Structure 1
Amino acid sequence: MERLRRARRAVKTGFGFLSVPPAGEVRGPLQREVGQNMRFLLKKFISDERGVVWVEALLAIPLLTIITIGILEFGTMMWQREQLQNGVRDAARYWARCRPTDQGASYMPCSIQTARNIAFYGDPRGSVDAFGDPNPLRVPGWYDGAPGATLDILPATPPTAPTADSLVSVEGRVLYQGSPLYAAILGDAVTLGYYHTTRYIGW
């Protein structure tokens, strides 16, 4: 019965040979040797640093990966926003210098479609350059008819008799075209926008 009680105590403590024996109980040589071996193995396990680098790497790599992807995604977003800004300002600069009539005669006729081509493609000819090659878009997804893409140019017609208060206003908006990971994490699209106003100059 005494051995059965001791076995039950050993199972409950997990390391039965490491537990303190009851008062008056003396351990045998085998028990002492096993207890010493267990304490040695436990101490060795605690002090052993092999594999620490792997554990730290497994903890750090996911965090560093997320930070790196976030930096790259933010940089791409800022680049697209800067391209949108350049397109809006170029279109406003062109439209501010347009004057279709001069004293009743045709003088440097301008087209609002040319302004839109300059904004979207950076080229007055639009989607095709002078050599017949396709022009890339300034901003992915920013063109006439694209979902969430807008380009508003005011006034729609350059004034024939500009005054000191004549202004040209251009506003562009586009949905940010991010990576698939960005779309999977955030889901909702981000709208990039820019607004620019300048004095009407004419030719």
Structure 2
Amino acid sequence: MSLLPAVRTRDEADLYLELHPCARCGSMEATWTGTATAQGSRPAYRYSGRCVECQEQREFVFALPDGRTTPADAGPHPTTRFGGPQPSALLDPGEWSLVADWCGEAAEVAERQGDDAEAAGLRWTAVAAWEEIGKFLPDGGDAVPAAAFWSTRGRAVYDREPGRFRRRRIEVVRDFHLDHMPWSPS
């Protein structure tokens, strides 16, 4: 198993695992166990588990930043939920955009069903995903550069609608989710 880029927080690792279904059957469900490990002299963290559908053994090994022995806990605000000020090395802006869209759509369903707690949690995740997209903006730049999209899935999102990665659009959509929060999670 090759070493993946550094994972910043447990929430980022969980999201990565959810976005990478079982290669054998396509199921996204697995029961994961995390353990500290190393790849050569570099500290790493291994997630292993079995697919609940086909029982295929799955494993991902993430590098860890700054000599950590485990991924960090999520921060208290959307800007720190998935990591600090640096952009993700695991998910590109297009993938973060998909997460934000999925959470925004699910929040609307939860709101229609009267589940304000679920809706708020989903909107909070959408806000955090938009914050992650913003971390790819160059200082003083107006848009996320095309070179920031390295995954097939993320590149497809960018190619379909590059305008969604402009600074103003990122801020407007993030603020929309904040404005439609049924209540603020603690």
TM-score tier by shorter-chain length is under 0.3
What is the TM-score normalised by the length of structure 1? 0.23
What is the TM-score normalised by the length of structure 2? 0.25
Higher radius of gyration, 1 or 2: 1
